[in-house]
Amino acid sequence: MLRSLFGALLALMVVPPAAAGDGATPEFTLVTLNLYHDRDDWPRRRERIVRELRALRPDAIALQEVLQDAALPNQAQWLAQQLGYDWHFASADPPGRARRFGNALLTRHRVLARGESRLRPYDNHRVAGWLCVEFHGRPLNLYVTHLHHEQDGGPVRARQIGDLLGYVEATAGQAPSLIAGDFNAAADRPELRALAPRFADAYAALHRDADGAAHGTLNPHYFESRRERIDYVWYQRDRFVPVAARILFREPDAQGVWASDHFGVLATLRVRPGRPERR
């Protein structure tokens, strides 16, 4: 199994530039959304989420607060089945446990490799998930995470970001990388600075006053006093060009159903042309 996976990765990473797809600079679309696990009428909310994601048909979807238990099928699996996507669930809870909580990545592309890594401190039960997918004949890395939630928990988030970046370094090779998720921190928080040398905030790159109240990703229906933007798509600076970014699920549907207590973010990123990747 590992030998065949290595062979598939190697074949992709040495493909000549002319075979990289229909265009020299393909665009990748990525959605991130905190699902709010099973609260507030999940059966109705999930139908709303599926309708919009089906219409958007992004290349990949990063989900946080994904739950499964004895009475609830894995939420990411259910969404993936409705959309016809592959999926990967990452949790700090043991695989044999009935109730597991974590993050997920969904994609409509061929999956080449997958993994997960717990983030310290381990008693905070945070995890990063990883997929390497085939995109226009080349590997592309996707990472998802959900960081410590307390507003004064900057030092904890800083440690988790350090672990996340270490995991990216250990798994990305030379393929381009995207990171998405709920970072529980506004863009001006010092703990996010560790991302800046290598990664940039896709939404902020395309919107003036991106940290103003009008751009918050916390749904005011649930968070009356907070208007922060804490959900992100981070792109590798030297491998992508941001093309578009917008906030999703900002209104309830016709029946008054909100998708989640967070809004989603959709980012479109052009992959920079470059030399064939080798791991």
Q: What is the pLDDT of residues 178-196, one digit of tens each?
A: 999 999 999 999 999 999 9
Residue-wise pLDDT tens digits, 74-129? 999 999 999 999 999 999 999 999 999 999 999 999 999 999 999 999 999 999 99
Residue appearing with tokens 């992100």: 232
Domain carrying residue 160: 26-271
Q: Which amino acid is at 93?
A: D
Does 15 reside within a domain? Answer: no
Mean residue pLDDT of the chain comes to 92
Q: What pLDDT score was predicted for residue 275?
A: 54
Does 21 reside within a domain? Answer: no
Q: Is the peptide bond before 197 cis (omega within 30 degrees of 0)?
A: no
Distance CA 216, CA 239 (A): 27
Does 276 reside within a domain? Answer: no
Q: How many CA atoms lie within 13 A of 86 on its CB side?
A: 15
Does 82 reside within a domain? Answer: yes
Residue 32, domain CATH = 3.60.10.10
Does 4 reside within a domain? Answer: no
Has residue 33 got a pLDDT over 90? yes
Q: What band does 3 get if pLDDT is binned at 50, 70 and 90?
A: very low
Distance CA 267, CA 279 (A): 26
Total length of the chain: 279
Residue-wise pLDDT tens digits, 230-257? 999 999 999 999 999 999 999 999 999 9
Q: Which amino acid is at 115?
A: G
The tally of domains found in the chain comes to 1
Over residues 155-184, the mean pLDDT reads 99
Read off the pTM.
0.91
Q: What pLDDT score was predicted for residue 277?
A: 52
